[in-house]
Chain A
Amino acid sequence: MLSPDELREIEAEFSRYPNKQAVCIDALQIVQRHRGWISDEALHDIAALLGMSPADLDSVATFYNLIFRRPVGRHVIYVCDSVSCWIMGCERHFRHLSERLGVKPGETTDDGRFTLLPIVCLGACDHAPVLMIDDDLHRDIEPAKIDRILEAYK
C-alpha cells in the first residue's frame, strides 16, 4: 500500500498534467524517494492509482536509468562513463572503486552502504572525470579524492 505521504505527494502532481498517466514518472520518483527502489508491489499500487496496467507502468519504469526495480544501497555512486570522462580516464576510477568496495558495476556492497553504477554523460565535461553520489556531483575526480569523498557517505 502507498503511504499517506506518498499518496499526498503523488496527488499533488495531478494538477500539473491533464491526465493521471502523465504523472507516472513523478509517481515512480516519489515512491523511490521514500523507499529507495520500486518493488513489484509498489509498481502495482502506483499503476492502480493512475489507472494504468502494471505492464504499461513497468515498461516506463524500466526505460529510465534512474528508476530502480531492484533494491540499492543507502548511497548510489554513479560513475560517468561517457566520452569526455572516458578520455580523461574514468575506467581507472571505475576499477579503483570496484576494488575498494569489492563490488562490480551494478552490485551493492555487503553492508548495504553503496551501489556502484555507470551513468551516461553528467554534463560537467569541463571537469571530467566526474561522478555523482546520490544528489551530489563530484568533479575532477582522482583516486585519492574518491577515498576522501566516500567518507562523507555513511
Chain B
Amino acid sequence: MPTETPLTKNIRTDGEAPDVKAYEQAGGYQAVRKALSGMTPAQVVEEVKDSNLRGRGGAGFPTGLKWSFVPMGNDVPRPKYLVANADEMEPGTFKDRLLLEGDPHQLIEGIIVAGYATGTDVAYIFLRGEYKLAARRVAKAIFEAREAGYLGQNILGSGYSLDLHLHISAGRYMCGEETGMLNALEGKRANPRAKPPFPPASGLFGKPTTINNVETLCNVPHIINRGSAWFKSLSRTKDGGTKLYGASGKVKRPGIWELPMGTTVRELLEEHAGGMRDGFRFRGLLPGGASTDFLTEEHLDVPMDFTEVQKAGSRLGTGTMIVLDDQTCPVGMVWNLEHFFAQESCGWCTPCWSGLAWVERILKALEDGQGRPGDLEKLASQTKFFGPGHTFCALAPGAAEPLQSALKYFREDFERHIADKRCPWR
C-alpha cells in the first residue's frame, strides 16, 4: 500500500539538503504564509490539537495541548522562548539526524509556525555537538531563511517577529531532558529542575518556554497546509501522522523508514528491516531507544504507537528499535545500557547516581563470572528505587525499563551467569 511520506519527501539520501529556493519550489514555507496571514495563534493551536500530534521525543505528550499552556496576551512575561530539542542522544536513535541533515528548512518552518502559535519571540535549536553535518546545514538554512524574510522582524509583513539561533551543545545525554536543556542554555550544568513550575509558565531565563522535539516540529507545516483530518488519516491508529521508525542490530537491512503511525513491530522487523541476518535468531527488542522495556516474540503484532506499545508493557519512545539476537548476551546488552545511564547521570538525585553505579557494577560482575546468589533480587529492588517519582527527571526511571524487563524475559540467562560462573556467550 503506497503511503504518503510528508516528513521525508524532500530528502535525498546521497546529496545536499534543499536550499531555500528548492524548498519553496517543493511547497515549502506555504504553512508560514497560511498561518501568519490567515489564522490566529489560537486557530493554529486548535488545528494541531485536532490532529492528535503527539510529541516525537519519546514521551508522546499531545503537542497542541502543550502549546495551549503557554500564557498569551499583552501582559505576559517577555521574551517568550521556544526550544527545538535536537539533542538526539538516546542510544539507538538516529531519526532526527535524518531530518536535520536532509531538510533543515522543514524544521525551521515548523519552528516559525509553532512560534507564532505560542507568541514566541526568540527560538533556539539545541543541537548535540556531535552532529557536525547537521550543524553546517542548519546554520546555512537559518541564514537563508532570514535573508528570505521568514525570520527576523515583521515576518512577511504579518507583524509577527521571531529570532532563531542555533545552539551547539558539547555532548551530554542530560541536555536532552527538557529542564536540563534549559539549564544548559543558561550556561549551567544540565541538572534537571523541580517541576512545577513547568516550562510554559517558567522556563528559559524564567520566561514562558515551549520545548518540542525536531520530528514533532517537522510535522507542523504539513498539518497547517493539509489539515488535521488529513493528518489523522495518515495514521492507522488514534495518534495522528506518520512516524520515523528505525531498526538497528543484526537485522538484514538496518535503516529508517517513514511509515503510518501504528505500523506493527512485525512489519518493521520482517518487511522493512528484512528480518534477522542469516544464522541469527530474534530474541527481543527495545522498541524506542535505550530507555524502553524489552518486547519479545509475543509482541510482534503490537502496533507501534504510543497507546499500544504502552499496553504491551513498554513505550514507543523514539520509535527506533534495537534488536537483540540469539548470539548476543542479554545480560551484556543490559550492562552496556546501564553503563551508559550510569555515566550520563548528572549526579543530582541519589537513586540515580548511586543506584545506577551499583547496578552497573553488579551486571559487570555477572558478565565476568563473579555473580552471586541474591544479585538478581538486588537488581530488581534497585529498579523500584529508580522511580518514577523518586528523581527529578526521567533518566533513572528510563534506565529501569530495559533492566526490569530483561529480568522478566531473560531470567534464565541471568541465572545461568550465576550458576555457571561465566557468561555463556563468551
**Residues of A with Cβ closer than 8 Å to B?**
16-19, 21-26, 28-29, 50, 52, 59-60, 63-67, 78, 81-84, 86-88, 119-128, 132, 135-137
Interface flags for B236-278 (1: CB within 8 Å of A; 0: not) read 0000000000111110001110000000000000000000000
The chain A residue with its CB closest to the CB of B328 is: A87
Partner of A86, one of B187, B336, B344: B336
Q: B132 an interface residue at 8 Å Cβ cutoff?
A: yes
28 contacts between A and B (CB under 8 A): A19-B186, A19-B187, A19-B205, A22-B186, A22-B205, A25-B170, A25-B184, A59-B189, A63-B172, A66-B129, A66-B130, A66-B171, A83-B91, A83-B290, A84-B91, A87-B323, A87-B333, A88-B248, A120-B91, A121-B290, A121-B340, A123-B88, A125-B93, A125-B322, A126-B246, A126-B247, A128-B254, A132-B130
Complex formed: what's the CA distance from A122 to B173 in Å? Answer: 11
**Pair B172/A64 contact, Cβ less than 8 Å:** yes
A123–B97 contact, CB under 8 A?
yes
On chain A, the residues within 8 Å of B132 by CB distance are 135-137
B320 touches A125 (CB 8 A): yes
Q: Which residue in A16, A59, A120, A136 is a CB contact (below 8 Å) of B89? A: A120
B155-188, CB < 8 A from A: 165, 167-173, 184-188
Q: Bound complex: CA of A63 vs CA of B346, how far in Å?
A: 8
Using A63-B346, A66-B129, A82-B92 as known contacts, say yes or no to A124 and B170 having CB atoms under 8 A apart.
Answer: no
A123, B171: Cβ atoms closer than 8 Å: no
In chain B between 300 and 344, which residues have their CB closer than 8 angstroms to a CB of chain A? 320, 322-325, 328, 332-333, 336-337, 339-340, 343-344
Given the contacts A29-B168, A60-B188, A63-B189, A123 and B93 also touching, CB distance less than 8 Å: yes
Residue B190 CB within 8 A of the other chain: yes
Q: Is B131 on the interface with A (CB-CB < 8 A)? A: yes
Instruction: Verify if B90 is at the interface (C-beta below 8 Å from A).
Output: yes
Shortest 5 CB-CB distances between A and B: which pairs? Answer: A65-B171, A64-B170, A125-B248, A21-B187, A126-B254
Min distance, Cβ A18 to any Cβ of chain B, angstroms: 6
Map CB proximity to A onto B79-123 as digits: 1 under 8 Å, 0 otherwise. 100000000111111101100000000000000000000000000
Task: Count residues of B near A (Cβ-Cβ below 8 Å).
Answer: 57
**A86 partner residues in chain B, CB cutoff 8 A:** 332-333, 336
- Bound state CA distance, A144 and B286, in angstroms? 31
Give me the interface of B with A, judged by CB distance under 8 Å.
79, 88-94, 96-97, 128-133, 165, 167-173, 184-190, 205, 246-250, 254-256, 286, 290, 320, 322-325, 328, 332-333, 336-337, 339-340, 343-344, 346
Decide if the interface of chain A is mainly helix, strand, loop or mixed: mixed
Minimum CB–CB distance for A79 against chain B, Å: 13
A97 to chain B, nearest CB (A): 18
Query: Most chain-B CB neighbours within 10 Å: which of A21, A60, A66, A120?
Result: A120
Residues in chain B near residue A64, CB distance under 8 A: 129, 169-172
Contacts of A65 in B (CB 8 A): 170-172
Residues on B with C-beta less than 8 A from A124 are 94, 97
Residues of chain B lying within 8 A (CB to CB) of residue A52: 187
Residue of A nearest to B347 (CB): A63
A105 to B256, CA, bound (A): 31
Whether A82 pairs with B254 at a CB distance below 8 angstroms is no
Q: Which of A21, A59, A82 has the most CB of B within 10 A?
A: A82
**Apart from A25-B167, A120-B343: 11 A-B pairs, beta carbons within 8 A:** A18-B205, A29-B129, A67-B170, A83-B286, A87-B248, A120-B171, A120-B340, A122-B130, A125-B320, A126-B248, A126-B255
**Residues of the A chain whose Cβ atoms lie less than 8 Å from the Cβ of B186:** 19, 21-22
Complex CA–CA separation, A96 to B242 (angstroms): 41
A59 to B190, CA, bound (A): 10
Cβ of B205: which chain A residues have Cβ within 8 Å of it? 18-19, 22
Q: Which residues of B contact A135 (CB under 8 A)?
A: 132
CB distance from A24 to the nearest CB of B (A): 4
Of listed B169, B187, B344, residue having the most chain A CB within 10 A:
B187
